[in-house]
Structure 1
Amino acid sequence: MLSPAPASPALLRLRPTGATAHEEVAVEMPIALTVNGVSQAVMLATPTDLEDFALGFALAEGWIVRARELLDVETLPHGLGMELALRVPAEREQRLKLRRRQLAGRTGCGLCGLESLADFAALQPSPVQAPELQPGALARAMRELAQAQVLNARCGGLHGAAWCATDGSLRLAREDIGRHNALDKLIGARARLPSPGASEAGFIAMSSRATHELVHKAAMAGAGLLACVSAPSSLAISTAAGLGLQLWAFVREDRATRYA
Structure 2
Amino acid sequence: MMMTPADLAPFAIGFMLTERLADTAADVIAVEPFEAEAGWIVRVALSARCRGRIHDRVRHRTSDTSCGLCGIAGLEQLRRPVTKVPPRPDTPVAAIFAALAALRDHQPLNAATGATHAAAACDTDGRIVAAYEDVGRHNALDKLVGALAMESRPLPAFLLVTSRLSFEMIDKALVAGVGMLVGVSAPTSLAIDQARAHGLTLLALARGDAILVANDPHGVFSEDLVAKEGLEPPTPGL
Contact 1:145-1:161 within 8 A present in 2 as well: no
TM-score w.r.t. length of structure 1: 0.78
* SS in structure 2 of the partner of residue 191 of structure 1: helix
1:232 to 172, 184, 187: 187
* SS in structure 2 of the partner of residue 242 of structure 1: helix
Letter in 1 for 2:176: A
* SS in structure 2 of the partner of residue 136 of structure 1: helix
* SS in structure 2 of the partner of residue 111 of structure 1: coil
Instruction: Say whether residues 1:184 and 2:142 are aligned partners.
Output: yes
Question: Matches of residues 124-143 of structure 1 in structure 2 within 5 Å?
Answer: 124-126=81-83, 127-143=85-101
Letter in 1 for 2:166: T
Contact 1:212-1:233 within 8 A present in 2 as well: yes
Kindly indicate which of the two structures has a greater share of residues assigned to strand.
1
Distance (Å, rounded) in 1 between the aligned partners of 2:33 and 2:170: 28
Contact 1:124-1:216 within 8 A present in 2 as well: no
Instruction: Tell me how far 1:223 sits from its aligned partner.
Output: 1.4
C-alpha spacing 1:103/1:240, structure 2 compared with 1 (3 Å): farther
1:105 to 57, 63, 66: 63
Counterpart residue number, 1:165: 123
Instruction: Tell me how far 1:103 sits from its aligned partner.
Output: 4.2
Kindly indicate which of the two structures has a greater share of residues assigned to helix.
2
C-alpha spacing 1:90/1:106, structure 2 compared with 1 (3 Å): same
Give a deviation string over 1:106-155, Cα, whole Å, max 9, x none. Answer: 2121211222222222x142342231112411111111222110111111
Instruction: Say whether residues 1:247 and 2:202 are aligned partners.
Output: yes
Distance (Å, rounded) in 2 between the aligned partners of 1:103 and 1:187: 24
* SS in structure 1 of the partner of residue 76 of structure 2: helix
Instruction: Tell me how far 1:95 sits from its aligned partner.
Output: 2.5
Counterpart residue number, 1:119: 77
Give 4+ residue runs of structure 1 displaced > 4 Å after superposition.
none
TM-score w.r.t. length of structure 2: 0.85
Structure 2, unpaired ranges of 5+: 216-238
Distance (Å, rounded) in 1 between the aligned partners of 2:10 and 2:74: 29
Letter in 1 for 2:165: A
* SS in structure 2 of the partner of residue 119 of structure 1: helix
Q: How many residues align?
A: 214
